[in-house]
């Protein structure tokens, strides 16, 4: 067989060895880069997970703070209302005529009624049960005489002092019915819960 040396390529063995070494270094570098990339990706995933967890905890903390603020606001309102009521009770007690050990206080259901109302029937004479003129200026309150004796003074929260001079078939137990001038005022007032102090006439 004839050899065509004119087209033959002569390669330096030292150059081949150098190229081989370079290829091996490139392969090792590629493997290291792949490893570093995997580690970086894993770290990124862990960081994202931690950030999401921190964000959730932060959201829960903010919600808890909002609830705490609401609770504090409600508590402050209740305490303020109690303080105002206590001041009013103390003031009323100081002004009570001859307050003694027979006086007492508690919450009552309070309503209002008018003199000569048709609701009281044809026998309504315009006089109270104690034959006092049913005049709103007299500041009369209808009571259950079994609980509050006639002639007692009754202080009603935010409304002041009234005299127990009347009764009614629906006024039983811890009920108070205040005499007022107009049906509109009675309807507007409706039924409310108020603290009251009872000072019997013989106290």
pLDDT in tens, 37-49: 777 777 777 777 7
The model carries a pTM of: 0.53
Tokens representing residue 172 in the block = 């039983």
pLDDT band at 32 (very low <50, low <70, confident <90, very high): confident
> Hey, CA dihedral for 45, 51, 57, 63, is it positive or negative?
negative
Plot region of 187 (φ>0 → left; ψ -120 to 50 → alpha; else → beta): alpha
| Residue 122 reports pLDDT greater than 50 | no
| Residue 30 reports pLDDT greater than 90 | no
Q: What integer pLDDT is reported at residue 36 of this predicted model?
A: 76
More confident residue, 38 or 8: 38
| Residue 14 reports pLDDT greater than 90 | no
pLDDT band at 55 (very low <50, low <70, confident <90, very high): confident
User: Which CATH homologous superfamily contains domain 100-199?
Assistant: RlpA-like domain (2.40.40.10)
pLDDT band at 31 (very low <50, low <70, confident <90, very high): confident
Interatomic CA distance for residues 185 and 111, integer angstroms: 10
Q: What is the mean pLDDT of residues 57-64?
A: 81
Per residue in 139-153, pLDDT (tens digit) is 999 999 999 999 999
Distances (CA, A) of 177 to 22, 50, 76, 99: 107, 66, 32, 23
More confident residue, 193 or 131: 193
Distances (CA, A) of 19 to 29, 32, 33, 173: 15, 20, 21, 110
| Residue 57 reports pLDDT greater than 90 | no
Q: What is the mean pLDDT of residues 57-76?
A: 78
More confident residue, 112 or 69: 112
Interatomic CA distance for residues 160 and 172, integer angstroms: 21
């Amino acid at each position: 067989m004839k050899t065509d040396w004119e087209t033959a390529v002569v390669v330096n063995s030292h150059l081949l060895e150098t190229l081989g070494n370079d290829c091996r270094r490139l392969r090792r570098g590629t493997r290291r880069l792949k490893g570093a990339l995997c580690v970086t990706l894993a770290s990124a995933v862990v960081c994202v997970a931690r950030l999401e967890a921190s964000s959730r905890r932060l959201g829960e903390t903010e919600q808890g703070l909002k609830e705490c603020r609401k609770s504090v606001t409600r508590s402050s309102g209740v305490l303020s209302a109690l303080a105002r009521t206590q001041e009013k009770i103390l003031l009323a007690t100081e002004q009570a005529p001859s307050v003694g050990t027979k006086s007492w206080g508690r919450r009552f259901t309070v309503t209002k009624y008018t003199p000569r109302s048709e609701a009281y029937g044809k026998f309504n004479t315009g006089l109270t049960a104690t034959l006092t003129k049913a005049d709103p200026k007299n500041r009369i309150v209808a009571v259950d005489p079994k609980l509050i004796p006639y002639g007692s003074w009754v202080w009603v929260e935010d409304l002041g002092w009234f005299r127990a001079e009347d009764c009614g078939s629906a006024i039983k137990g811890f009920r108070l019915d205040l005499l007022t001038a107009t049906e509109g005022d009675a309807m507007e007032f409706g039924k409310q819960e108020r603290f009251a102090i009872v000072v019997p006439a013989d106290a």
